[in-house]
Structure formats: C-alpha cells, structure tokens
Amino acid sequence: MATHTQDILQAWYPHRDRHQWVLGTVVATLGSSYRKAGALLLINDMAQLFGLISGGCLEADLMRRSKRVMATGVAELVSYDSRDEDDVAFQLGLGCGGKIDILLQPVTAENHYLQLDQIYQSLSAHQPMVYCSPITPSELTAAGNQACLVAPTLAQLPFAIELGDKATVVTYRGQQWLCRWIRPQPHLAVFGGGLDAQPLVAMAANLGWQVSVIDPRPSYGRSVDFPAASRLVNCSAAGLEQQPWLESVDAVVIMHHHIDLDVEAIQLWHNKPLSYWAVLGPEHRKQRLFDTAGLQPEQCLQPLAGPAGLSLGGELPEGVALSILAECHAALHGASARSISGILNDTAGITS
C-alpha cells in the first residue's frame, strides 16, 4: 500500500465525485505516536482506505466513525488515548503509549474538496504546497467543513508563519489552523540500467519514489528488468539537457560502470541543484571521472558522494542498493543517518 500523500491523492482524484469521502488528519499528538501531526488518510463509502495513521490499530475504528461523518456531513474531532484503560485505543492494543487527535472531515465539491484537488495538481507538477486545515473544536460544524488554505509559498498565506518540516498550529482570526508543507514524491534518476540497478530501482519505487532509469545501451535499462520504474530513457546523459523532467529530479545515482557514460552524467548534473548525487566505485575512480570531465569537486553545487552509500556491510547488489538508498533518504530529509538508539557509534569500534 502506497502511503505517500501524492499516492493517496492519486487514488482519490479520479473518483472524487463517484463516492463519498472523508479526510482524516492527525492534528495533535501527546507522547509517543505512530504518525505525527499533519499525517493524513482518505476513506470512502466503499470501505476503502488510502494512507496510514497508526500501525493498523486505529484504521478500522476510523472507518466506522467516518460513516457517521459521511451521513451527517459534519466534521468530527476524534481522540485516542492508549494510556487510558477505558479508551478504545487501549482496548485495541495501540502500543505507542500516547494520545492522538484526528480530525475527520467530509470531502465534497461543496467544500471545494478541502483544496485537495489543488494539492494534487501541484504535486503532479512536482511543486510543494503549504496546506492549512482549521482545527478549532468549537468551529468544527462550520469551519471544519469549509475550504482549507493552500499556497505555493509562505508569503502567499494571509498570516505570517515560519514553517519547517514539522506541522505548526497558528491562530488566525480567532481560529486555529494546522499548517504543514506537503511535498511531492522524491524523484530519483538512476544513470545505468545494469543488473545491480534493478534492486535499487525496485526499493526506491517501493518507498513511493518516482524513479527514472537512463541508459543508452540496447541491452540495458529494459522495461522487463525495471517494471517499477516511472520512466525508462534510452539515451545518454549528453542527450538529456533539454528534457523538462530534469527539473523535477531530486537525487541522482550514477552507476553505468562505464567511464565515458559516467563522465557525461557528471557533466550534466554538476551545476544543477540536487539534494543528493552519488557515483559507484572507489575514491580514485571518482577522481578519474572528475579529471576526465575537466572538473574539480569544488565546481559542483552539491558534493558528489563517492563511494556511494552508508557503511552497512553489504556486498551483494541488494545490500549496496540499501546502503545507497539509506544515504539518499537521509540527505533528502536532512537527517544524520546515525543509529537512533546509539547502539552503533564510533566509540563502540564501528567506523566508516
């Protein structure tokens, strides 16, 4: 099940007028919770659910409550407290040990689909949007069913706000709004369609990413080998300069195992904004690629990761793919890529 917001909206959009729909949004959490404020799911009158708010513990109960919202057309604020033995969350075995508030809102043409159609169009164009939902409990009957606020930039909102990766609650005209960025699926471009690229592409697609595979060689990058790829391009990097989809690429992995083709990819991407780019092979090979390309590392907008990936100990293509995607995922989300528990660290003798 794809749980990225773009996948959820893609499942909803063609059927938005054929069924009744309810949007579920996590608006507040206290203590531990599976998802944080801003997470959403969509439920329809066919008992279909798109998205994930818990590990599966609460979704069945939310389905039941959503039927009432569909019947009444009135939004509801639902709370689950797994610390309370009398609460349904405790009885369902929700193991996070925290409290979670979820706003259920009808999604109809009359309330402008809560602006989800605009969000969908923006994400399809690979553009992020700021999305603000009214959450004041006393205003749910009216404001909870009204259109939400959307904007491509913070400056276009009717109030001033500083907004990072986490959702933020603001008060505007006596009403509380939950504001968060909704960003498109990451777009990974893989230059090289060999055997070792197959698990990389499959894993990235399973993460909900868009993946383009580029390779000019006839026996590489075939559709039969990359069924999960969003795009297959039978062309070298040198022939891509004017392709409009290049602007949507967030990350690049270069793995042709061919000097000239790798050099062309480096020449294409060295001066373009990327969150992450990497090349397979040892450090001396990366330097050879730069020398052949006539470039210096400091001429690149983003440092080229090479050797690519985190030190996970893998040698087979699947392990290497996991290593590269882990590093790429951390770069895309501004994370440290360190052990959360601290069980792996340099003082324990674990080195890169």
Model pLDDT for residues 148-162, shown as the tens digit of each residue: 899 999 999 999 999
Question: Could you tell me which of 289, 278, 290, 282 has the C-alpha nearest to residue 323?
Answer: 278
Last residue of a domain, one of 142, 166, 182: 182
On whether residue 97 sits in a domain, the answer given is yes
SS (H, E, C) 299-320: HCCCCCECCCCCCCCCCCHHHH
CA dihedral 187→189→195→201, nearest 10 degrees, is 0
The answer on 267 and 131 residing in a single domain is no
The answer on 150 and 57 residing in a single domain is yes
The answer on 193 and 176 residing in a single domain is no
For strand 251-254 and strand 187-191, is the pairing parallel, antiparallel, or unpaired?
parallel
The answer on 219 and 309 residing in a single domain is yes
The answer on 151 and 16 residing in a single domain is yes
**pLDDT beyond 80 at 176:** yes
The answer on 178 and 56 residing in a single domain is yes
The answer on 219 and 273 residing in a single domain is yes
On whether residue 344 sits in a domain, the answer given is no
The answer on 174 and 49 residing in a single domain is yes
Number of domains, the chain = 2
pLDDT given for residue 351 in this prediction:
42
Coil, strand or helix at 2:
coil
Are 332 and 186 a contacting pair, CB within 8 Å?
yes
The answer on 134 and 252 residing in a single domain is no
Phi and psi torsions of 115, nearest 5°: 65, 15
The answer on 279 and 144 residing in a single domain is no
What percent of the chain clears pLDDT 70, i.e. is strictly above it? 89
Q: Which residue has better confidence, 332 or 142?
A: 332
Domain of 65 in residue numbering reads as 5-182
User: Residue 292's domain is classified under what CATH number?
Assistant: 3.40.50.720
- What 8-state DSSP symbol labels residue 185? P
CA triple 311-325-127, angle to 5 deg: 145
Model pLDDT for residues 218-258, shown as the tens digit of each residue: 999 999 999 999 999 999 999 998 899 999 999 999 999 99
On whether residue 340 sits in a domain, the answer given is no
On whether residue 351 sits in a domain, the answer given is no
The answer on 30 and 141 residing in a single domain is yes
The answer on 229 and 115 residing in a single domain is no
